Structures are given as C-alpha cells and as structure tokens.
C-alpha cells in the first residue's frame, strides 16, 4: 500500500510542477526511473514512443502505462488521476481569478517567467531522449566504447531525418511514425 501511495504522490507532484505539457513530465519520469526503478530509461523511451503515437496526452498515457505496469488497472487509474488532479485544480483557480487580474504587471511577469522554464523542461527531455535512444550511456561508464553507439538507431534516425528534410513537401508525421514502427519490427530494435 505504501508503494501505491508513493506512486500517486509522485504523479501528483509531476502534475503540479510539470508546466508545459507532456514533454515537461519527462524529467520527472526520468527521476522516478532512477529513484524508484519502476521502469528503466530504455522503457521510458519506449513509453514515450508509444504515448506519442497513441491518442491522448503524452503525460497521461505514460502515467497510465506506469501505473498499470506496477499495480494493474487500479494503478493505471490512480496514476492518471494523480497526474491530472493538480491541473484541474489550478485551472479552476486560474480561470476564476485570471479574468480580473490578467492585465496586472505581476501576472504578466509570472507568465513571462514560465515560458523559459517550460522551454528548459522540454529541452531537457529532448536531450535525455536523444542520448538514451542513440547511445548506451551505461557502456561508456563501464569503459565499453565499442557498444557505446546504437548503430541501428543512429541509422534509422539519419534516414528518417533525411526523409523529413529532402522533399519539398514534408511527409505527414503519421507516415514517419508508421515507418519507424515498421523499421523497429523488421530490424528488432
């Protein structure tokens, strides 16, 4: 029961402080991975890929996945509700007072300060995903430089990046997601 409540608390904190959407939850999830071992960093990248390619918000999809993997359906429901509850509370409070105070300098200053913080969260997520997806950082720490690079992933990244940048008309993101999923199945990433 203690572990279940800890899961709820961690997702509640994530929902409260991950301002900026699903990508802003990734640094919090990375910390959960390291601190509690509920999932590995490789599983985090898999969760992100699945969450990105399924309907719904990324953060909610990942909370549901982790909750389910730890405690089944009750865990999925609890983690999801724990993640979205702070947002619902904050939105209700802000909506009730923002209309009256949105012209105040201090309110505009708060929103101006939040923008760079959100960009920082998202940049942190991008760097984490990039490193985990293309490199075996644990191999570097062990001195195994030969297996440091995930060559299949690097090649797929290069091909998809070239496919995205070469044509005058950019392919639809769904095409790229399907192509990456097919390549993953064919080449067993």
Q: Is 11 exposed, middle or buried (0-12, 13-18, 19+ CB in 10 A)?
A: buried
* 90 and 52 share one domain: yes
* 43 and 86 share one domain: yes
Structure confidence at residue 74 (pLDDT): 95
Q: Three-class SS of residue 53? A: helix
Structure confidence at residue 132 (pLDDT): 82
Structure confidence at residue 10 (pLDDT): 92
Give the residue-averaged pLDDT of 90-107: 81
How many of the other CB atoms lie within 10 Å of CB of 59? 25
Q: Please tell me the least confidently modeled range out of 31-40, 48-57, 93-102, 137-146.
A: 137-146
The model's pTM: 0.59
E strand or H helix at 98: helix 58-101
pLDDT band at 180 (very low <50, low <70, confident <90, very high): confident
Give the residue numbers spanning the domain of 119.
2-134
* 117 and 157 share one domain: no
Q: Which of 90 and 56 is assigned the larger pLDDT?
A: 90
* 41 and 71 share one domain: yes
pLDDT tens digit sequence for 30-67: 888 889 888 888 888 888 888 777 777 888 888 898 89
The C-alpha atoms of residue 134 and residue 150 are separated, in whole angstroms, by: 5
Instruction: Give yes or no for residue 93 having a pLDDT over 70.
Output: yes
* 129 and 147 share one domain: no
Residues 79 and 7 sit within 8 Å (Cβ to Cβ): yes
* 89 and 15 share one domain: yes
Structure confidence at residue 12 (pLDDT): 94
Structure confidence at residue 80 (pLDDT): 94
* 95 and 75 share one domain: yes
* 151 and 88 share one domain: no
Q: If you ran DSSP here, which 8-state letter would residue 146 be given?
A: G
Residues 6+ apart with CB under 8 A from 170: 164
Residues 6+ apart with CB under 8 A from 133: 45, 150, 153, 157
Total number of domains in the chain: 2
User: Which residues share a beta bridge with 135?
Assistant: 149
Instruction: Give yes or no for residue 171 having a pLDDT over 80.
Output: no
pLDDT band at 69 (very low <50, low <70, confident <90, very high): confident
Instruction: Give yes or no for residue 189 having a pLDDT over 70.
Output: no
* 118 and 186 share one domain: no
* 119 and 151 share one domain: no
* 25 and 118 share one domain: yes
Instruction: Give yes or no for residue 143 having a pLDDT over 70.
Output: no
Q: How much is the mean pLDDT over the chain?
A: 83
* 7 and 80 share one domain: yes
Structure confidence at residue 140 (pLDDT): 65
């Amino acid at each position: 029961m203690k572990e279940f409540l800890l899961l709820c608390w961690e997702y509640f904190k994530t929902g409260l402080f991950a301002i900026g959407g699903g990508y802003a939850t990734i640094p919090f999830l990375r910390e959960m991975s390291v601190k509690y071992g509920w999932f590995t960093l490789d599983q985090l990248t898999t969760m992100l890929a699945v969450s990105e390619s399924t309907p719904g918000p990324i953060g909610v999809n990942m909370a549901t996945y982790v909750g389910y993997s730890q405690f089944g359906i009750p865990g999925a429901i609890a983690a999801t509700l724990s993640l979205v509850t702070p947002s619902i509370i904050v939105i209700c409070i802000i909506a009730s007072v923002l209309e009256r105070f949105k012209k105040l300098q201090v309110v505009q200053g708060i929103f101006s300060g939040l923008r760079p913080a959100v960009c920082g969260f998202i940049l942190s997520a991008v760097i984490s995903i990039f490193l985990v997806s293309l490199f075996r950082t644990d191999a570097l720490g062990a001195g195994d430089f030969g297996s440091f690079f995930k060559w299949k992933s690097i090649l797929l990244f290069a091909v998809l990046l070239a496919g995205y940048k070469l044509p005058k008309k950019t392919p639809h993101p769904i095409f790229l997601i399907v192509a990456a999923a097919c390549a993953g199945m064919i080449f067993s990433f």
